[in-house]
Amino acid sequence: MAILLVFCMSATLGQKAANVAMALFAVGILIFSGSLYALVLLNLPILGAITPLGGLCFLVGWGSIVVHAFRAKPS
């Protein structure tokens, strides 16, 4: 959903900002969901420590959208 939102806002945010946000969301999805799947399937508790890094990528992605939205020049 977040990637779709960024895609729709890419004209407003600018292409570079949209690419950064989409990359952060994609990495966040891979790390967050991937570590949870691996934690359950491989039964390795250490993978639980990696999960918050995916959440951090989500937060930084949302933060970059907010920062670039405030920096965007009204047309």
What average pLDDT does this structure show over 10-38?
Answer: 88
Residue 75 pLDDT > 70 = no
Amino acid identity, position 68: H
pLDDT class for 23, splitting at 50, 70, 90?
Answer: very high
Write down the residue that tokens 């993978």 correspond to: 47
Residue 3 pLDDT > 80 = no
Residue 62 pLDDT > 80 = yes
Its pTM stands at: 0.81
Write down the residue that tokens 């920062």 correspond to: 67
